[in-house]
Chains A and B, each alone.
Chain A
Amino acid sequence: NAGVMQNPRHLVRRRGQEARLRCSPMKGHSHVYWYRQLPEEGLKFMVYLQKENIIDESGMPKERFSAEFPKEGPSILRIQQVVRGDSAAYFCASSPVLADTQYFGPGTRLTVL
Protein backbone atom coordinates (compact mmCIF):
# COMPACT_ATOMS: atom_id res chain seq x y z
CA ASN A 1 0.00 0.00 0.00
CA ALA A 2 1.79 3.07 -1.21
CA GLY A 3 1.87 6.05 1.10
CA VAL A 4 0.67 9.54 0.35
CA MET A 5 2.34 10.78 -2.81
CA GLN A 6 3.01 14.35 -3.74
CA ASN A 7 4.45 15.74 -6.91
CA PRO A 8 6.46 17.48 -7.85
CA ARG A 9 8.79 17.32 -4.87
CA HIS A 10 10.40 20.59 -5.87
CA LEU A 11 8.84 23.31 -7.98
CA VAL A 12 10.40 26.54 -9.13
CA ARG A 13 8.23 29.30 -10.52
CA ARG A 14 8.76 32.91 -11.48
CA ARG A 15 6.55 35.62 -10.04
CA GLY A 16 3.22 35.72 -11.81
CA GLN A 17 3.24 32.10 -12.95
CA GLU A 18 0.88 29.39 -11.78
CA ALA A 19 1.84 26.54 -9.47
CA ARG A 20 -0.01 23.24 -9.41
CA LEU A 21 0.71 20.83 -6.57
CA ARG A 22 -0.65 17.30 -6.68
CA CYS A 23 -1.48 14.92 -3.88
CA SER A 24 -2.50 11.29 -4.23
CA PRO A 25 -3.88 10.02 -0.93
CA MET A 26 -3.34 6.55 0.39
CA LYS A 27 -5.58 3.91 -1.12
CA GLY A 28 -8.94 3.90 0.60
CA HIS A 29 -8.53 7.39 2.05
CA SER A 30 -11.20 9.87 1.07
CA HIS A 31 -10.12 12.76 3.31
CA VAL A 32 -7.32 15.07 2.19
CA TYR A 33 -5.71 17.95 4.07
CA TRP A 34 -3.30 20.57 2.80
CA TYR A 35 -0.81 22.38 5.05
CA ARG A 36 1.77 25.05 4.42
CA GLN A 37 5.06 25.51 6.22
CA LEU A 38 6.72 28.84 5.59
CA PRO A 39 10.50 29.03 6.09
CA GLU A 40 11.39 28.98 9.76
CA GLU A 41 7.72 28.75 10.74
CA GLY A 42 5.35 26.05 11.89
CA LEU A 43 2.73 24.16 9.95
CA LYS A 44 -0.48 25.97 9.10
CA PHE A 45 -3.70 24.32 8.07
CA MET A 46 -4.99 25.40 4.68
CA VAL A 47 -7.89 23.25 3.52
CA TYR A 48 -9.69 19.98 4.17
CA LEU A 49 -11.43 18.13 1.35
CA GLN A 50 -13.39 15.01 0.78
CA LYS A 51 -14.02 13.59 -2.64
CA GLU A 52 -15.51 16.38 -4.79
CA ASN A 53 -16.18 18.58 -1.75
CA ILE A 54 -14.33 21.30 0.10
CA ILE A 55 -15.21 20.81 3.75
CA ASP A 56 -13.14 23.52 5.41
CA GLU A 57 -11.04 26.12 3.61
CA SER A 58 -10.68 28.50 6.53
CA GLY A 59 -6.88 28.44 6.26
CA MET A 60 -6.71 29.27 2.58
CA PRO A 61 -5.73 32.78 1.49
CA LYS A 62 -8.79 34.44 -0.01
CA GLU A 63 -7.18 35.17 -3.36
CA ARG A 64 -5.07 33.19 -5.82
CA PHE A 65 -5.34 29.88 -3.95
CA SER A 66 -7.77 27.09 -4.77
CA ALA A 67 -8.02 23.38 -4.08
CA GLU A 68 -9.95 20.49 -5.49
CA PHE A 69 -10.28 16.77 -4.97
CA PRO A 70 -12.09 15.34 -7.98
CA LYS A 71 -13.89 12.04 -8.11
CA GLU A 72 -11.02 10.61 -10.11
CA GLY A 73 -7.39 11.59 -9.78
CA PRO A 74 -5.30 13.42 -7.24
CA SER A 75 -6.12 16.43 -5.15
CA ILE A 76 -4.75 19.64 -6.63
CA LEU A 77 -3.63 22.77 -4.83
CA ARG A 78 -3.45 25.59 -7.32
CA ILE A 79 -1.71 28.90 -6.74
CA GLN A 80 -2.24 31.55 -9.39
CA GLN A 81 0.09 34.49 -10.00
CA VAL A 82 2.62 33.30 -7.45
CA VAL A 83 4.56 35.80 -5.36
CA ARG A 84 7.79 35.35 -3.43
CA GLY A 85 5.85 35.02 -0.20
CA ASP A 86 4.29 31.81 -1.52
CA SER A 87 7.68 30.08 -1.26
CA ALA A 88 7.14 27.34 1.27
CA ALA A 89 6.80 23.61 1.79
CA TYR A 90 3.29 22.38 1.07
CA PHE A 91 2.30 19.14 2.74
CA CYS A 92 -0.66 16.97 1.98
CA ALA A 93 -2.08 14.40 4.39
CA SER A 94 -4.85 11.87 4.08
CA SER A 95 -6.99 9.84 6.41
CA PRO A 96 -9.64 7.15 5.93
CA VAL A 97 -12.20 8.96 8.04
CA LEU A 98 -12.52 12.32 9.74
CA ALA A 99 -10.53 12.80 12.95
CA ASP A 100 -8.44 9.69 12.28
CA THR A 101 -4.66 9.49 12.11
CA GLN A 102 -3.36 11.48 9.19
CA TYR A 103 -0.63 10.18 6.93
CA PHE A 104 1.61 12.84 5.47
CA GLY A 105 3.15 13.07 2.05
CA PRO A 106 6.79 14.10 1.56
CA GLY A 107 5.81 17.64 0.67
CA THR A 108 6.34 19.92 -2.31
CA ARG A 109 8.90 22.66 -1.88
CA LEU A 110 7.85 25.67 -3.90
CA THR A 111 10.38 28.34 -4.68
CA VAL A 112 9.24 31.55 -6.32
CA LEU A 113 11.99 33.51 -8.02
Chain B
Amino acid sequence: KNEVEQSPQNLTAQEGEFITINCSYSVGISALHWLQQHPGGGIVSLFMLSSGKKKHGRLIATINIQEKHSSLHITASHPRDSAVYICAATASGNQFYFGTGTSLTVIP
Protein backbone atom coordinates (compact mmCIF):
# COMPACT_ATOMS: atom_id res chain seq x y z
CA LYS B 1 0.00 0.00 0.00
CA ASN B 2 1.34 3.44 -0.94
CA GLU B 3 1.84 6.00 1.77
CA VAL B 4 -0.14 8.46 -0.37
CA GLU B 5 -3.25 7.41 -2.24
CA GLN B 6 -5.13 9.54 -4.73
CA SER B 7 -8.54 9.18 -6.28
CA PRO B 8 -9.76 9.09 -8.88
CA GLN B 9 -6.93 7.99 -11.16
CA ASN B 10 -8.64 9.44 -14.21
CA LEU B 11 -11.30 12.08 -14.39
CA THR B 12 -13.19 13.55 -17.33
CA ALA B 13 -15.36 16.59 -16.82
CA GLN B 14 -17.38 19.01 -18.89
CA GLU B 15 -16.22 22.59 -18.99
CA GLY B 16 -17.70 24.52 -16.08
CA GLU B 17 -18.05 21.55 -13.75
CA PHE B 18 -16.84 21.56 -10.16
CA ILE B 19 -14.03 19.05 -9.72
CA THR B 20 -12.71 17.34 -6.62
CA ILE B 21 -9.57 15.24 -6.36
CA ASN B 22 -8.90 13.38 -3.14
CA CYS B 23 -5.71 12.43 -1.37
CA SER B 24 -5.27 10.21 1.68
CA TYR B 25 -2.01 9.58 3.44
CA SER B 26 -0.90 7.16 6.09
CA VAL B 27 2.25 8.83 7.39
CA GLY B 28 2.78 11.69 9.77
CA ILE B 29 3.42 14.76 7.68
CA SER B 30 4.86 18.21 8.05
CA ALA B 31 3.26 19.45 4.83
CA LEU B 32 1.02 18.34 2.01
CA HIS B 33 1.67 19.54 -1.53
CA TRP B 34 -0.48 19.67 -4.63
CA LEU B 35 1.39 19.71 -7.92
CA GLN B 36 0.20 20.11 -11.49
CA GLN B 37 1.99 18.39 -14.35
CA HIS B 38 1.12 19.60 -17.82
CA PRO B 39 1.03 17.33 -20.88
CA GLY B 40 4.44 18.68 -21.88
CA GLY B 41 5.85 17.43 -18.59
CA GLY B 42 6.41 20.69 -16.73
CA ILE B 43 5.55 20.65 -13.02
CA VAL B 44 4.06 23.52 -11.08
CA SER B 45 3.58 23.62 -7.35
CA LEU B 46 0.00 24.69 -6.68
CA PHE B 47 -0.28 24.54 -2.92
CA MET B 48 1.63 23.64 0.18
CA LEU B 49 -0.47 23.33 3.29
CA SER B 50 -0.21 21.89 6.76
CA SER B 51 -3.65 22.82 8.04
CA GLY B 52 -6.95 24.33 7.00
CA LYS B 53 -7.61 25.64 3.55
CA LYS B 54 -5.91 27.66 0.83
CA LYS B 55 -7.38 29.31 -2.24
CA HIS B 56 -5.75 30.55 -5.40
CA GLY B 57 -8.04 31.72 -8.16
CA ARG B 58 -10.36 28.85 -9.06
CA LEU B 59 -8.33 26.34 -7.07
CA ILE B 60 -9.00 25.43 -3.46
CA ALA B 61 -7.03 22.99 -1.33
CA THR B 62 -8.12 21.68 2.03
CA ILE B 63 -6.55 19.37 4.55
CA ASN B 64 -7.93 17.50 7.53
CA ILE B 65 -5.01 16.48 9.73
CA GLN B 66 -7.06 14.21 11.99
CA GLU B 67 -8.49 12.26 9.07
CA LYS B 68 -5.21 12.40 7.09
CA HIS B 69 -7.04 13.58 4.05
CA SER B 70 -6.70 16.43 1.59
CA SER B 71 -8.81 17.58 -1.33
CA LEU B 72 -8.13 19.74 -4.34
CA HIS B 73 -11.14 21.51 -5.81
CA ILE B 74 -11.39 23.26 -9.14
CA THR B 75 -14.36 25.54 -9.65
CA ALA B 76 -15.69 26.44 -13.10
CA SER B 77 -13.31 23.99 -14.77
CA HIS B 78 -11.78 24.90 -18.11
CA PRO B 79 -10.02 22.82 -20.79
CA ARG B 80 -6.72 24.47 -19.85
CA ASP B 81 -7.05 22.78 -16.44
CA SER B 82 -6.43 19.45 -18.18
CA ALA B 83 -3.30 18.04 -16.57
CA VAL B 84 -2.11 15.47 -14.07
CA TYR B 85 -2.58 16.55 -10.47
CA ILE B 86 -0.21 15.05 -7.95
CA CYS B 87 -0.53 14.93 -4.20
CA ALA B 88 2.75 14.75 -2.27
CA ALA B 89 3.42 14.49 1.45
CA THR B 90 6.50 15.75 3.20
CA ALA B 91 7.01 13.61 6.25
CA SER B 92 9.31 14.25 9.16
CA GLY B 93 12.89 13.33 8.44
CA ASN B 94 12.74 14.88 4.96
CA GLN B 95 10.91 11.90 3.47
CA PHE B 96 8.82 12.67 0.42
CA TYR B 97 5.90 10.53 -0.69
CA PHE B 98 4.00 11.02 -3.94
CA GLY B 99 0.60 9.87 -5.05
CA THR B 100 0.33 8.31 -8.48
CA GLY B 101 -1.52 11.32 -9.83
CA THR B 102 -4.97 12.07 -11.16
CA SER B 103 -5.24 12.63 -14.88
CA LEU B 104 -7.88 15.30 -15.52
CA THR B 105 -9.42 16.01 -18.90
CA VAL B 106 -11.85 18.89 -19.22
CA ILE B 107 -13.95 18.74 -22.37
CA PRO B 108 -15.19 21.98 -23.96
Contact = CB atoms under 8 A, between A and B. Distances in A.
Contact of A45 (B43, B45, B98, B100): B98
B96 A59 contact: yes
A45 to B, nearest CB: 4
Given A99-B30, A101-B45, A107-B41, A42 B101 contact: yes
Interface string B11-43: 000000000000000000011010100000111
Interface in B63-91: 86, 88, 90
Given A42-B99, A44-B98, A106 B33 contact: no
A42 B85 CA distance: 11
A56 interface: yes
A48 interface: yes
Interface residues of B, number: 22
Contacts, number: 55
B35 to A, nearest CB: 8
A42 B86 contact: yes
Of the listed residues A42, A103, A106, A107, the one surrounded by the most CB atoms of chain B closer than 10 A to its CB is A42
A44 B88 CA distance: 10
Using C-beta atoms within 8 Å of the partner chain, give the interface range for chain A: 20 to 34
Contacts of A89: 41
Contacts of B98: 42-45
A56 B30 CA distance: 16
Contacts of B90: 99
A56 B100 contact: no
Contacts of B31: 99
Interface string A73-99: 000000000000000010101000011
Interface string B35-69: 10000011111001000000000000000000000
5 contacts: A42-B98, A43-B98, A45-B98, A104-B35, A106-B41
Interface of B: 30-31, 33, 35, 41-45, 48, 86, 88, 90, 93-101
